[in-house]
């Protein structure tokens, strides 16, 4: 590190890299045996090891259908909720649009259900009308069938009798 050329250099691990340094520069790192193993122990893992662990965790595949998971989704009846709350306040579509700084056509599309609002619009509507448009939904597991039978849409839908 310092550039001194000495006959005896010590192997030292500095920020995850093993370097051959003089005795003065050895204080900046951890002593390493010639086999590459540390002789001194540190409480925290090296930077490289931490990055490798994070990479390994990111690369693992996760099931989106895990049990017990909750997801926040738009309520199925959000158009009805918006219209009823607006009418309860005694506002016309034009008034609601002016209060949340949106076009009247956007309000009409929301109440008719032809448009799904983005998060910003959802927050504005929820705040001004004092309603909730999103609700928690439990994610259910899908049972895999063993054998040669192929799973179809009919298997996932409950039939009315």
Percent of the chain with pLDDT over 70: 79
Percent of the chain with pLDDT over 90: 35
Give the pLDDT band of residue 65 (cuts 50, 70, 90): low
6, with CB counted inside 10 A (0-12, 13-18, 19+), is exposed
- pTM metric for this prediction: 0.47
**First vs last Cα of the chain: how many Å apart?**
81
Domains in the chain and their CATH numbers? 10-59 (no CATH), 70-138 (1.10.260.40)
> Residues 77-111: pLDDT tens digits?
999 999 999 999 999 999 999 999 999 999 999 99
Q: Please, which residues have CB within 8 angstroms of residue 26's CB and are 6 or more apart in sequence?
A: 10, 12
Residue 141 has pLDDT above 70, yes or no: no
Residue 37 has pLDDT above 50, yes or no: no
Residue 40 has pLDDT above 60, yes or no: no
């Amino acid at each position: 590190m310092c550039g001194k050329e000495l006959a005896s250099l010590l192997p030292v691990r500095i920020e995850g890299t093993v370097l051959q340094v003089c005795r003065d520069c050895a204080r900046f790192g951890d002593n390493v045996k010639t086999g590459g193993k540390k002789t001194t122990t540190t409480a925290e893992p090296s930077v490289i090891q931490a990055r490798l662990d994070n990479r390994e965790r990111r690369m693992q595949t996760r099931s989106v259908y895990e049990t017990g998971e909750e997801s926040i989704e738009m309520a199925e009846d959000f158009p009805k909720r918006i219209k009823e709350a607006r009418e309860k306040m005694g506002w016309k579509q034009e008034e609601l649009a002016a209060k949340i700084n949106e076009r009247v056509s956007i309000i009409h599309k929301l109440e008719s259900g032809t448009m799904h609002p983005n998060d910003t619009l959802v927050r504005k509507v929820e705040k001004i009308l004092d309603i909730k448009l999103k609700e928690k939904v439990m994610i259910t597991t899908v049972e895999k069938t063993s054998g040669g039978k192929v799973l179809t849409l009919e298997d996932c839908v409950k039939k009315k009798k």
